[in-house]
Amino acid sequence: MVWTEHLALIYLLVEWSIRLVMVVVVPLRRPPEAARSWLLLVFFLPVPALVLYRLIGRSRFPAWRQQRFAEASTLRRRMAALLPPPVHPAPVIAELAERLGEFPETGASDLALLSDYDLSIDSLTVDIDAAKSSVHLLTYIFADDSTGKKVAAALGRAARRGVDVRVLIDAIGSRPWARRTLTLLAEEGVPCKLALPVRWWTTVRRARADLRNHRKIAVIDGRLAYVGSQNIVDRNFKRGVTNDELVARVEGPVAVAVAAVFASDWYLETKEILPLPPIPATAEAAVQVMPSGPDYGVPGFERLLVALIHAARTQVTLVSPYLIPDEALLAALQTAAYRGVTIDLVVSRVVDQRLVRLAQRSFYDELMSMGVRIHRYRSHLLHAKHVSIDGRIGVIGSGNADLRSFMLNAEISLLLYEPTQVAELVDQQARCIALSDRLDLLQWRRRPLAMSLAENLARLVGPLL
């Protein structure tokens, strides 16, 4: 009995020791909303919270990877210095994007926005078949289904022609298919590496196990590139869910910047330095590539998004399948709405992550009360991610408007400054809104109380998702 009482006392002391230490540790270099969620969990469940925090509590890479990223910065800066400026300079926001992502504005000779899922894959395979020197592909998901086999076959044909083909796939995003996909690509003679593989010593070396490379890019001969939201997987790879995407196919000097992002990520996983591609001639249309992620030490995509909204004069349209804004983004939206800016948020009614959906829904009342218009895309999972500001700046890429994309994922954004290109993106957004239902605030407030409670509970853990 005495021994049991001693154990109880020891456990109590351990719990309070954890609480006291975590009160100091958790708020360091962490957004307030994330700190609150962690401290709430620590208060009620200190021991499980400590274990979970050890696994996913720190969005930092180990020292060896930070050193490797610093080494790769030399390559990125060399590429950035060679990029020719566009004939027509871009807005001031380009300076911020360069500070955040290291690449200045440059030119594009041609840009096409591809919203048809199968045609996008067909376009990619045609360009791979036309490649003469190199094909570099980085994607979050590369499956061994019909879509994956189609792309793998094109990569194999290129490799057999003597083209330098390299593929990088995220270890967690592609986990259900990774072993078979690696085998498939190996049979085609295509070198493939896993990005951020999770091993038992990952957390021992002070790395968070769920930091992911979420980029989706392809670079052909250093002269054209694909940037967007589409993975190499069948459109309906999740049962009952069909994805709608948007991909930018862009030619010109900007493709070299995308090549530099791939080369940097390849070096992080292999320590192999890839040769610089030839620099295409300058082009009129101003565009810019901005990578972001934990390696950079600052939530670059969040900073860019907030700055764009603060700079808006008349219109903000944001399309994102996962919308869990932080306080800075909420404040920017509220301030813009109070200034009279029209704000349209396009989200997806069809979901593939229920907890994320609940957390996202918890913001709808607050956003609509600000005057923000929320449109729910009806039939498919709208997996595309893009933004337009006043019809003068557009952003398309892999990043969602949530804390995971802000803090934990490596993402890439393509900024559009040419009016005709931005107008094409605005047209895509108008089509998304036409296929959506606009939420009504009063009707939304009539939803069941149990649903509202579930949403608010999910919001508490939203910063941890």
- Of 283, 314, 330, the residue at which a domain comes to its end is 283
User: What is the domain count for the chain?
Assistant: 3
Query: Do 315 and 406 sit in the same domain of this protein?
Result: yes
Quick one: 200 exposed, middle or buried, by C-beta within 10 A (0-12, 13-18, 19+)?
exposed
Amino acid 205: pLDDT: 47
Inside any domain, residue 290? no
Does a structural domain hold residue 101?
no
Q: What are phi and psi of 455, to 5 degrees?
A: -65, -45
How many residues are present in the chain? Answer: 465
Task: Render pLDDT for 368-389 as a digit per residue (tens, 0 to 9).
Answer: 999 999 999 998 999 999 999 9
Residue 70 included in any domain: yes
292-331 per-position pLDDT tens digit: 999 998 999 999 999 999 999 999 999 999 999 988 999 9
- Classify strands 134-139 and 323-324 as parallel, antiparallel or unpaired: unpaired
User: Does residue 288 lie within any of the structural domains?
Assistant: no
Angle between helices 46-56 and 32-44 (to 10 degrees): 140
Residue 444's alpha-carbon distances to 322, 447, 454, in angstroms, are 19, 6, 15
Residue 159 structural domain: 63-88+109-283
Q: In 3D, which of 462, 66, 95 has the Cα closest to residue 295?
A: 66
110-141: per-residue pLDDT in tens?
Answer: 999 999 999 999 999 999 999 999 999 999 99
Are 233 and 147 spatial neighbours (Cβ–Cβ below 8 Å)?
Answer: yes
Q: How far is CA 214 from CA 7, 77, 148, 174, 413, in A?
A: 45, 22, 17, 11, 11
Average pLDDT, the chain: 88
Same domain, 345 and 237: no
Pull the structure tokens for residue 459. 């919001």
Q: What is the pLDDT of residue 455?
A: 83
Whether residue 52 is found in the same domain as residue 71: no
Residues 386 and 356 in one domain: yes
Looking at the fold, whether 263 and 341 belong to one and the same domain comes out as: no
Instruction: Judge whether residue 61 has pLDDT over 90.
Output: no
Nearest-angstrom CA–CA distance, 183 and 179: 6
Q: Give the chain's radius of gyration (CA, Å).
A: 23
Which of 226, 261, 283 marks a domain boundary? 283
The answer to the question of residue 25 being in a domain is: yes
Residues 50 and 135 both lie in one domain = no
Domain assignment of residue 162, yes or no? yes
pLDDT at 322: 93
Residues 6+ positions from 27 with CB-CB distance below 8 Å: 35, 39
Mean pLDDT across 336-349 = 96
For residues 441 and 311, membership in a common domain is answered with yes
90 or 116, greater pLDDT: 116
User: Does 336 lie in the same domain as 213?
Assistant: no
